[in-house]
Amino acid sequence: MLGFYVHVPFCSAICNYCNFNRGLFDPALKARYVEALVGEIQRADRAERAERAEGRGQRAEADTIFFGGGTPSLLEPDEIARIIETCRSVFALAADAEITLEANPETVTEARLAAFRSAGINRLSFGVQSFRESELRRLSRLHTADRARAAVAEARAAGFDNLSLDLMMWLPEQQVAEWLESVDAAVALAPEHLSLYLLEVYPNAPLKDEMARANWSQAPDEDAAAMYLAAMERLEAAGYEQYEISNVARPGCRSRHNLKYWTDGEWLGFGCGAHSTRDGARWKNVASTDDYILRMMRGESVAVDVRRLSPDERLGDLLFTGLRLADGVNLDTIRAEYGVDIWERHRPELEPFVEAGVLQHDGPRLWLTRQGMLLAHEVMAIFV
């Protein structure tokens, strides 16, 4: 089934490390953007009708919507409801579709969360990043640790039973024990899902200058590895399953939407900078919010960089993303679908990783060990 990604490029303030496609919130711009989004989804309707007229058959089925950003919780609940309803009017949206809203803790109240729930949202992903005040201030985040805790309590009170928290490790001046304090604080809130990311300080990020001025540094690489491994062990002990390099979940609570990205799935992205993959083609929308709105108003295409993928590119992508999963990839399935024996084709490059304990190969399965996940990019470079 298809998934939909809806990009919301607005934030109340711009975090000093952020490298996402976003800008400052402006109510008038937001209103025009929502019109453009609805227009883009309706435009997909025309394409769908044309496909059906040519014999594709039923309406395309979808079972996930993911509002990502930016800060999608800055949209009003009725705007979220309108976008979901537009998706439902165009596609056959499953009755039990997973509909996720990324939310920043400072943007919500219990009443607002209840309204998002009535609008159709059934999964929340809170951008918490840390439960230590000094770290949140260093990242220029607007919320406090207490606000994050309150947001989780408000979400539970509003009836949400599927919550995810994002945490970031390897922050400036952060030690392993301090990182684990945040992991423990997250576990204490019992979310169904957690995503753990390593902070990447981009060359042009304001944080890079702030770190230089304040003489802050990131711990050595060995400590970053220790943070990752210790967190995964602690989360496993608390009943979470690691199912992807950066993601853990309670049984049955994996992100159905994100799994589409890692399992050769298909999805349509709406909004500025959103990517889509369908029927062997891939495209992305124009990145600028203004340009996106303007093109929609003029009735022009918002897609740029449309490419049909060759079988080799699809296979490379499947291996690149599939190896992110704890289950890895099934080489028999790949051989049946792509006619390629991956093990035979890449044996000389793969064997040294198996001998080093980075990869495991057992029967048809090929997967990264947890230690190996720290070296994932070196292994994936073989395939792309």
Q: Which range of residues in 67-75, 161-169, 239-247, 287-295 is near ligand SF4 by CB under 6 A?
A: 67-75
Give which of 67, 70, 21 is closest to 291, Cα–Cα: 21
Q: Which range of residues in 11-19, 30-38, 91-99, 364-372 is near ligand SF4 by CB under 6 A?
A: 11-19
Tell me: does residue 107 bind ligand SF4 (CB under 6 A). no
Burial of 377 (0-12, 13-18, 19+ CB in 10 A): exposed
Which one of residues 1, 20, 149, 216 is an interface residue with ligand SF4 (CB under 6 A)?
Answer: 20
Tell me: does residue 69 bind ligand SF4 (CB under 6 A). yes
Tell me: does residue 256 bind ligand SF4 (CB under 6 A). no
Tell me: does residue 25 bind ligand SF4 (CB under 6 A). no
The enclosing H or E element of 270 equals strand 267-270
Question: DSSP secondary structure string, 133-186?
Answer: HHHHHHTT-S--HHHHHHHHHHHHHTT---EEEEEEES-TT--HHHHHHHHHHH
Give which of 334, 341, 330 is closest to 363, Cα–Cα: 330
Tell me which residue has tokens 């979220």: 80
CB of residue 9 to ligand SF4, shortest distance in Å: 8
Tell me: does residue 104 bind ligand SF4 (CB under 6 A). yes
Q: Which range of residues in 17-25, 145-153, 237-245, 309-317 is near ligand SF4 by CB under 6 A?
A: 17-25
Q: Which range of residues in 24-32, 63-71, 182-190, 233-241 is near ligand SF4 by CB under 6 A?
A: 63-71
Tell me: does residue 18 bind ligand SF4 (CB under 6 A). yes
CA atoms in the 13 A half-sphere facing the CB of 92? 7
> What are the backbone angles phi and psi of residue 203, rounded to the nearest 5°?
-55, -35
CB of residue 332 to ligand SF4, shortest distance in Å: 40
Site string for ligand SF4, 111-150 (x = CB under 6 A): ----------------x-----------------------
Closer CB to ligand SF4, residue 123 or residue 141? 141
Closer CB to ligand SF4, residue 164 or residue 242? 164
Tell me: does residue 11 bind ligand SF4 (CB under 6 A). yes
Tell me: does residue 164 bind ligand SF4 (CB under 6 A). no
Give which of 314, 302, 315 is closest to 269, Cα–Cα: 302
Q: Which range of residues in 8-16, 83-91, 152-160, 238-246 is near ligand SF4 by CB under 6 A?
A: 8-16
| 8 A C-beta contact, residue 93 and residue 58 | no
CB of residue 374 to ligand SF4, shortest distance in Å: 24
Tell me: does residue 108 bind ligand SF4 (CB under 6 A). no
What CA dihedral angle connects 30, 288, 130 and 157, to 10 degrees?
Answer: 30
Which one of residues 6, 38, 71, 247 is an interface residue with ligand SF4 (CB under 6 A)?
Answer: 71
Q: Which range of residues in 15-23, 146-154, 194-202, 241-249 is near ligand SF4 by CB under 6 A?
A: 15-23
Which one of residues 2, 8, 15, 249 is an interface residue with ligand SF4 (CB under 6 A)?
Answer: 15
Give which of 21, 3, 120, 20 is closest to 66, Cα–Cα: 3
What CA dihedral angle connects 125, 130, 133 and 139, to 10 degrees?
Answer: -90
Which one of residues 70, 105, 172, 273 is an interface residue with ligand SF4 (CB under 6 A)?
Answer: 70
CA atoms in the 13 A half-sphere facing the CB of 89? 15
Distance CA 47, CA 226 (A): 49
Tell me which residue has tokens 């998934």: 3
Give the binding site for ligand SF4 (CB under 6 A). 11, 14-15, 18, 20, 22, 69-71, 104, 127
